[in-house]
Amino acid sequence: MSHYKSNLRDLEFNLFEAYGVDEYLGKAPFEEIDHDTAMDILREVERLATEDFAESFVEGDRVKLKLIDGNVELPPGMKKSLDAFNDGGWHLVGLPKSLGGFGAPETLRWASGELFAGANAAAYLFATGVLMARVIESVATPEQVERFAVPMVERNWGGTMVLTEADAGSDVGAGITKAFHVEGDKWHIEGVKRFITSGESDYNENIIHLVLARRPDAEPGTKGLSMFIVPKYLVNEDGSLGERNGVVATGLEDKMGIRGSTTCELTFGMDEPAVGYLVGDVHEGIRQMFLVIEDARMSIGVKAAATLSTGYLNALEYAQERVQSADLTESRNKTAPRVTIIHHPAVRRMLMTQKAHAEGMRAMVIYAAWVLDMAHLHPEEPYWAKLNDLLLPLVKGYSSEKAYELLAQSLQVLGGSGYSRDYPMEQYIRDAKIDTIYEGTTAIQGLDLFFRKIARDQGATLMRLGQDILETVKGGSEEMAVERELLGKALEDLQMHVGALVGYSMGAMQDPPLIYKTGLHTTSLLESLAEVVIGWLLIRHADIALEALPDASDADRAFYEGKIASARYFALTVLPKAHLRRTLAETEDGALMDLPVESF
């Protein structure tokens, strides 16, 4: 049986009941996908994810990959999973019609992404490489699009984003990889990049690397970086493959998790010139690369939330089958019948904590995707793009941190069995840990949220989102009155938290060390904002469920009652945390930054 347990019913609820995707399906620019087509896609993706895609989950983890003479051979099962994905044309879901894609709305794209990511994270990382073609199409020259992006789609070429260098790490602007002009858009790249996902394999006939490098006369920092298309095999003018380019995998990371994914050190120009093509023939590398980074951050948030969801559902199944101990009310009766562990309070607490967060993170992901749909439908309204920018650190940062934390509770429900490799829990945890680290650590997401998405915007987007949340606080079903009041308090605490950090930042203009007080509380601000957004969405979902209950079938009744329970539990146990974070931010004395290094 497959390890993967999907939650298609909740995805359907989010898409069609909560966010009303039906209102614009079948209409431009999504005219080719109506409700029935969307449902057919979701059902077939779920089947493929649960069967073919999940089939190599264990093999990818336990068959050790080897780098031999710059080449990595994937195990047969991983290739079989990727074949099922590509042969079915599922790589086209996330691509525009101009590249031969489905032209699907972002909501459907990321709902499908959840199913694939939860089923097999390592294979999912290979499968998302084709999305580099979207970036090439949007910023490259027509000739580059035809030469590289089109065959990426039609011939299933791989794709990577190549930023990190060993000494620079997350400080991308400190990268020293060099680019030397040859002629036209043709350059030679020299340097070493590290931690490159899907950097090498024998699965695709070619791999297109999108590489950041610095020309000799470029200014320092990120503004001096340019982006180049560097193919593994050179591409002739007629589209045929030429000789091997001078980019070689010189290292393969031996990782804690997602071991089936090849994370490589790539060396450019070691023995042969590494030919690169300046993207768009303009030196706008960091702006162009952020199109990749933003998509990758969304992808990682989806991956994290999907892993928690299947972890929770595996734990739920076990709790309904595992018989142990008597009910707590019969604890003194030594002859009382044993019960399944889902009847024990501690197990129920752990399960509901996982359920509320798994459903909440899914709600946040699909809401962020819905915002992207609005940006497509209303390009004249800049708010939607700005709101998506605001939500991305939450989707990536909060989902990755919380999923890793709560997967430990998924394992805990199984007790000693969860620690064994007979169950997928320990692999889920190992596969999920990377999500808090790459595409910008959680601390970087917090800094990005405050300085770029709130302060630079003078809080305008956050205030408009706050008004939407306040409407829910002020009006809704009477049954959720307590929860709406808790949401209102959390929103107020969030606003005061932001105010404290703005105050420190303003004061730092005269007293620079005050900025440390801001930096000490940006991650906690991210947590509070994410939880306010999730709490808001879950309460909205609960109101929908309450309205649907009277006419619901028996199966749907249980589902809707679960939605209401998730919202109540989250409001009662999670939203009050915003008050503590606000208090800690307001009373910060900065002493931690004054502590001598030797005292740590």
State both tokens at 441: 């650590």
Give the end-to-end CA distance of the chain in Å, rounded to a whole number.
49
Concerning whether 12 is annotated as a catalytic residue, the answer is no
Q: Interior CA angle at 384 toward 379 and 386, to 5°?
A: 115
Task: State the number of CA atoms in the 13 A half-sphere of 188 facing the CB.
Answer: 9
**Cβ contacts of residue 220 below 8 Å, gap of 6+?**
173
State both tokens at 345: 């309070």
Whether the CB-CB separation of 210 and 227 falls below 8 Å is answered with yes
CA–CA separation, 283 vs 216, rounded Å?
A: 13
* Residue in the block written with tokens 């307590």: 482
Question: Of 137, 439, 527, 588, which one is the catalytic site residue?
Answer: 439
CA–CA separation, 119 vs 52, rounded Å?
A: 9
* Residue in the block written with tokens 């998509």: 295
Count other Cβ atoms within 10 Å, centred on residue 8.
16
Backbone φ, ψ for residue 161 (5° rounding): -110, 130
Strands 71-72 and 338-340: unpaired
- Output the furthest CA–CA distance in the chain (Å, rounded): 86
Backbone φ, ψ for residue 352 (5° rounding): -70, -35
Distance (Å) of CA 63 to CA 52, 194, 227, 261, 424: 18, 22, 34, 11, 16
Nearest one of 252, 248, 251 to 270, comparing CA atoms = 248
Residues recognised as catalytic:
439
